[in-house]
Chain A
Amino acid sequence: MSLRYLASRLTQGIIVLWIAFTLSFFLLYLLPGDPVITMLGAGGELQNFDPAEVERLRSEFNLDQPLPVQYLLALVAVLRLDFGTSIQTGTPVTEAIASSLPSTIGLAAVALVIALVTGAAIAIGATLTRRPWLRDALAALPGLGVALPTFWVGLMLLQVFSFRFPIFPAIGTGTPTAVILPAVTLAIPLSAIIAQILFRALQNAWIQPYVTTYTASGYSRLRLLLRQALPVAVLPALTMSGVLFGQVLAGSVVVENVFSRQGLGRLAQTAVTGQDIPLVQGIVLFAAAVFVLVNLATDLIYPVLDPRLKAATRNVPADATRTDHEGVRA
């Protein structure tokens, strides 16, 4: 892996973050009229604003400055990781995000573990089984998983496992068992996505000629799957990890609402409800940064795992550069 590759990936990520900032800036601060009125309006008193308060907010957000100056001031502030302060609580946005993060990370970690295990089990089971009905049933599960509304699944689980059979607490973050139901709720769409991607990748690997080669060399089905198909199939699945993390963040908004948990999702919801523009922008940029970082990590790991990419970036022995496409005959 060359330094140039690393640098180009890094630059791309930074450009994405910069555009994300620019877009969110223009969307939130410029689009629908006066953001100060919007923010105050959400506070409750719709009619009479205190003109002094309006002016104070105006200058706090530099809205009294010309547009390019506003933008540059905001950009410089963001570069110093200063996303402003929350309108509702007055705490700095970075602080608000940081304090809500641990709870969401805990939830996401449990959910990801559940999702990886069930997702992989479904995909591998569906590929491995010789029984058509079982394969069809397993292959249909992910489709079901992505179609169920998360908020509804959470409520159904609550209804059954907290009210009908009080096994788990209905709300809160107090006991360790309290994380189970929300994590399962969050894990259902995640595992469905993992199962879908992995199953498709395994199917694709399974019909490759090399599987025939090794089948004919006496390999068992299980060995073929685990040692030959899976190492190839996890590669495309890996590229989806950025999307997966985004899914976790989006899911946490709904799940934390349903189970009345504190966390980033909850923070996002209250920010939108209160039209807390700095907080919303901070969360959006945070999500974009997570996505960029995860993708960057994937990009760096990928060539290590896939020799085909490595070969493409490094010098290949001269005799291997020839292709044989011209002589292909039926």
Chain B
Amino acid sequence: MSLAMELQKNGQAETFGEDVRTEGIGASTPDQKGGNDRQGGNRARGLLRIRGGRLGIIEILALAALALAVLAAFWPTLLTGVDPLTGDPVNRLLPPSLDHIFGTDHLGRDVFSRTVHGSAQTLSASLAAVAIGVISGVVIGLIAGFFTGVLDAIFMRIVDVLQAIPGLLLSMAVITALGFGTINVALAVGVAAIPSFARLTRAEVIRWRSAEFVRAARADGLSTLSVLARHILPQVRGPIGALVALEFGSAVLAVSALSFLGFGAPPPQPEWGLLVSEGRDFLAAAWWMTTFPGLVVAAVVLAANRISHVVNSEKEFR
């Protein structure tokens, strides 16, 4: 192995703050390093790769934040007993206190309870959006990548177009056609997520389609479909998983932005974007009405991005 390669390896490890990569560099995988290779392989197959041998505190926090968000979405009453819709006119615009940790709004409703109950709408819309993006994107990508030619050209031009229009504008166009509401917002955000999944899947399929071990599998007598299912899909799974987490974060942002603009659920409903929007008129008087729901959105997005990063580096490691 040349010095340049060795430096590259260690330099990479150094700059990314991750383990020293013992992965062989293609043909030059050294025999003597077999022991190291083995070690790396075992680690990569672990449930969650932990960077630098230390327990990734940030990853654990990210997982905890996502778990909390899911809990809030499905069992909101576990986190708060206060009704999100009924206000108490006496307790209007109260700053955060032990009774109301996020304060109360202009109608005396508990902001924390509204945030907790809002997660159901926002998160399920985001999840639905990602599901739409993944399913359509991966199907398009698989077809385009595996059956080159006319199908590929047609699909990819459509994907080009979807990508040429900024995601938020594309979602807004879909909403114009479908009308307002959480379900339509989910659909609109999902459509905007298709191109990235389609492109990634296609790129990965094309990359692995000509891989030497895939050629070998054909020589081993496997049919086209078996090759796709047994050798190519397992390779594509990892990168897609990373993109799912990343796109989930973007979907949360897009869904709450659309609901902030007033395209989501109508006002009494608690939706994260809507909560922030409700607080606009009280910026000077009640900072907590905008600050806390916004922070929750940021926390969930950050957590999703972090998880994506972990999944992604595990992919690179492989």
Contact = CB atoms under 8 A, between A and B. Distances in A.
Interface size class of A (residues with CB under 8 A): 35 or more
List 4 A-B pairs, minimum CB-CB distance, nearest first: A152-B294, A246-B166, A209-B4, A250-B168
A159 B287 contact: yes
Contacts of B279: 155
A328 interface: yes
Interface string A241-262: 0100011011001100110000
Contacts of B287: 159
Interface in A11-32: 15-16, 19-20, 23-24, 27-28, 31-32
Given A24-B173, A246-B166, A330 B1 contact: yes
Contact of A269 (B261, B276, B298): B261
Contacts of B257: 149-151, 254
Interface string B258-274: 00111100000000010
Mostly, the A contact residues are: helix
Nearest to A143: B305
Contacts, number: 173
Interface stretch (A92-100, A220-228, A283-291): A283-291
B83 interface: no
B178 interface: yes
Interface residues of B, number: 63
B158 A287 contact: no
B119 to A, nearest CB: 14
Interface in B116-172: 157-158, 160-161, 163-170, 172
Contacts of A268: 169, 172
A254 B7 CA distance: 46
A77 B96 CA distance: 57
Nearest to A210: B4
Contacts of A254: 168, 257, 260-261
Interface of A: 15-16, 19-20, 23-24, 27-28, 31-32, 38, 132, 135-136, 143-144, 146-152, 155-156, 158-159, 163, 203, 206-209, 212-213, 242, 246-247, 249-250, 253-254, 257-258, 268-269, 271-273, 275-277, 280-281, 283-284, 287-288, 291-292, 328-330
A249 B161 contact: no
Nearest to B285: A163
A43 B249 CA distance: 35
B8 interface: yes
B310 interface: no
A288 B280 contact: no
Contact of A147 (B11, B261, B305): B305
Contact of A149 (B16, B29, B283, B294): B294
Contact of B164 (A16, A143, A253): A16
